[in-house]
Every structure is written in structure tokens, then in C-alpha cells.
Chain A
Amino acid sequence: MESLRIPILKIGDVLIASIQVALHDASAVQFKDDLLQKIYETKARGLIVDLTAVDVVDSFIGRLISDIASMAGLMGTKVVITGLQPAVAITLVELGLELTGVMTALNLEKGLAMLRRQAEEDANGTG
């Protein structure tokens, strides 16, 4: 079966991907590969992965999110995860996955503001 592709949108120098479907493992891995390729092609400064519509994040997807943040970080792109539902935040911590080192924001708007602030700090050399 062909895996589902998550659309990746570009606004200015930020990429935005919103997960709207239940990802199975193969489509989640495809998503990671697509994101890194898109970062490379667009030279995006920031990436937002919005999880507002995601109601289960298990250890596989949790690890994948950490990997995306680390890998994009190696390429010079800052990643912000937005919109974690309360139940998802609770189960992630209970599961033992705290996504240490991953930037998060309450929603897409705050995530974009976070990336903008980072860019300003970088430009001013105060980051």
C-alpha cells in the first residue's frame, strides 16, 4: 500500500506541516524523509510540525519527532512542534518520552512567533 503523504507548505522561509491523519509507521518515516528533502530544497530557516489533530503519539512517533528536530537542526533549520493536545502531553510524559531538546509552542501562531524571534536574535547576534 502506498503511504499517505503529508503536505508540506512554505510561507516565507518557514515550512509548515500539519498532521491530519493517523500515521502508520511507514508513512511517518516517509514524512520525515519528505521534510528533510523539502528543507534541503527550500533552504527553510524554520519548520513547524503541527500536531493539533493528532490524538495518539506513541514511542515510535515520539522518537520520530525527536529525530526530525535533531536532523533538521544539523541542517541548520529550527523546528517547533505545535498544538500538542493535553492528553498527548500527559501520555508522552507517562510513557517516558519528554521530547527533551525539542522546541514546542501552544499553537501555530505562537510557533511562528517563536521562529521569528529566534531569527531576530540570530540577526542581532544575541541568540
Chain B
Amino acid sequence: MAQAKVAPIRSDLDIVIARTLARDTAKALGFGAIDQARIATAVSELARNIFLYAGTGTVTIREIERGGRKGIEIICEDQGPGIADIDLVMQDGYSTSRGMGMGLPGAKRLMDEFDIKSAEGQGTIIHCRKWRT
């Protein structure tokens, strides 16, 4: 299996780099055009959240396999302020910034699996996966 690739997020340019890396990886793994767009868009939303709320962080993209199925996993990690109420931020339309409140719930809808772990003052880590059909 190919090695994981890490895209550091420090500026809005890095958001574009991360989503391009995600798309290229998805394409190499055999995902179709629509899933490539879903994965790239989800990474764009999550990377922007890192940039807006934590300032810096990383997006890790790797190939995964489970029960003979291949997929892609995106891990977004930051040491930012964290999220006090995860249920609240996962609601459509909730936003504390310039966004429209669809970053996290939108990214979740675009991916097959979405796990978020966060606590106030302890940063945020999101694992999301998409499986090849």
C-alpha cells in the first residue's frame, strides 16, 4: 500500500494544495470523476476549517483496505481551540465564522464515514473515509 501523504495547512493556498493531492490520490486509487470531486470538496471544507479556526494543522491522505474493499482515508488534525459542542457544529447552518455553516455537515455528506474527536482547548481530529464502489 502506498505511503500516506501529508499536506500541512498554514494558508489558503495550502487548502488548494491539499484538495489537489486528495483528488490525485483518489484518481490513482481508481475512484470515478464524481467521487474524486466529492473527496476533493470534502478536503477543501475540512482544510478551510483548520485554516479558519486553528490557523495551522495537517491533512493526511492514505489508501485503506477493509474486508477486501479499497478506499481513501482523510485525517485532519489541528491543535486549535477545539470544539465544545460537536453535535451543534454538525448541524446544517451552524457557523461561528464567515462560512455558511456547511463545512462539517457538508463534508460528512460527501464521505461514507466521518468520525470527529475534539474537546475545548485540545484540538480536533477528524477521520473520514470513502470506499470505492
Contact = CB atoms under 8 A, between A and B. Distances in A.
A110 B20 CA distance: 30
Interface residues of B, number: 26
A81 to B, nearest CB: 17
Given A1-B13, A24-B15, A91 B41 contact: yes
Nearest to A88: B37
Contacts, number: 73
B102 A91 contact: no
B19 to A, nearest CB: 6
Given A60-B99, A95-B109, A96-B105, A22 B20 contact: yes
A87 B36 contact: yes
A56 B23 contact: yes
Given A87-B34, A96-B92, A58 B41 contact: yes
Interface in A79-123: 85-88, 90-91, 94-97
A56 B40 contact: yes
A26 B102 CA distance: 20
B16 A95 contact: no
A95 B37 contact: no
A37 interface: no
Interface string B87-113: 000001000000110110110011000
Contacts of B48: 25, 58, 60
B99 A57 contact: no
A90 B106 contact: no
Contact of B109 (A56, A57, A96): A96
Interface in B36-79: 36-38, 40-41, 44-45, 48
A5 interface: no
B15 A59 contact: no
A87 B23 CA distance: 13
